[in-house]
Amino acid sequence: MDYSKLSTQEIERLARTIHPGAWAIEPDRPLATLLGSCVAVCLFDPQARVGGLNHFMLPSIRRSSNDDIDSLLSGAYAMESLLNGLLQKGAKKVRLQAKAFGGGTIINTSGPLMSIGSRNADFTKEWLNREGIPLLASDFLGPWSRKVLFVPTTGDAFCRRMVTNMATAEVIAREEKSYAETLVQKPKTSEKKIELF
């Protein structure tokens, strides 16, 4: 389908929704997500015409005494999963390009949650820079929630900043809180420990 002839409303209607903690590569339809303090990264290979989107947040509460490892595990996992999925679909890392969005502050918070949007945005920029993937477009931080639409076959991304009303803020806060709780759950004692080296 030629999405260039469709309005953003039509693209949104056809899109698959990606929830917090998820990622997807879609060959035949657009992807969409709603962001608060989370970040969504669109990665695409313009030559192979393949792309995908993730939606992630770094943990705000430490699961262990080493906060850096926790951040690495959640953020890097989201990015590596999407990257590896694209490579399996024929993308080449040297051709990958990125667009990234999110890290907003939509509810008044204090403590660790207050800076989570900024941490998410900083991590994203650092990871892309370290991997040598150019960030072609971004919209980070601010008091907005964002609706992101991404057409994986073309790399076109649309970001709509939204003045967050109470109902939207509650939905986003509920989804992000539920997702954040999964990031801080301790592994079951029966699971084998993984040693990072």
DSSP-assigned letter for residue 74? I
- Please report the beta strands in the chain, taking only residues with DSSP state E, as ranges in sequence order: 16-17, 23-25, 31-35, 39-45, 50-56, 97-102, 135-140, 145-151, 156-162
Whether 159 is catalytic: no
As a whole number of angstroms, the distance between CA 155 and CA 172 comes to: 26
User: 């969409």: which residue's tokens?
Assistant: 32
Identify whether the C-beta of residue 114 lies closer than 8 Å to the C-beta of residue 141.
no
Identify whether the C-beta of residue 121 lies closer than 8 Å to the C-beta of residue 39.
yes
DSSP-assigned letter for residue 117? H
18, 38, 82, 157: which is the annotated catalytic residue?
Answer: 38
As a whole number of angstroms, the distance between CA 158 and CA 137 comes to: 10
Annotated catalytic sites, by residue? 38
